[in-house]
Amino acid sequence: MKNIILALFVLSFVFTSCSKEDKKCDLVETNNTAPANETANVETYLSGAGITDAQKHPSGFYYKITQTGTGKPVVNLCSNITIKYVGKLTNGNIFDQSPSGETRTFKLGGLILGWQKGVPLISSGGKITLYIPPSLGYGSAPNQGIPANSILVFDIELINVT
């Protein structure tokens, strides 16, 4: 009888560890940073717009947290984030946004580097504005109406993390 109980214990341990392994995140965070000239351009934009309370992230983007959130934090790049957002150029033109009153869900690791590094600064229920230099955004290639080498401004509300 003891052998049967021991065998069941070992089997349950093996199956439990396999299921945990299946949930492992294979996406790797990068240490990319924006070049100094891009960071300087973001600083020039912020200064000209009268934005004095944005903080600089070590990777070179700036951010302003308006609500830290009290819910679940982002765990890793495999986290699915449910958000409401507006993406603008520095001239105020909106190039993308979640539909009015609706949310969108994305895997964090599938988004631009500025989001990968910025969204984890808040928990669900939080709100943040990101000021992203080109190399942490869409870079030198035009993308769906976004001119090459654009600074991007995103207002993001993190609704949920799974």
pLDDT digits (tens, 9 = 90+) for 30-86: 788 999 999 999 999 999 999 999 999 999 999 999 999 999 999 999 999 999 999
pLDDT digits (tens, 9 = 90+) for 93-133: 999 999 998 999 999 999 999 999 999 999 999 999 999 99
pLDDT digits (tens, 9 = 90+) for 9-37: 433 433 444 434 446 788 777 788 999 99
Both tokens of 121, joined, read 């600064």
Domains located in the chain, CATH noted = 32-161 (3.10.50.40)
Helix, strand, coil abundance in the chain, percent, nearest 5: 30, 30, 40
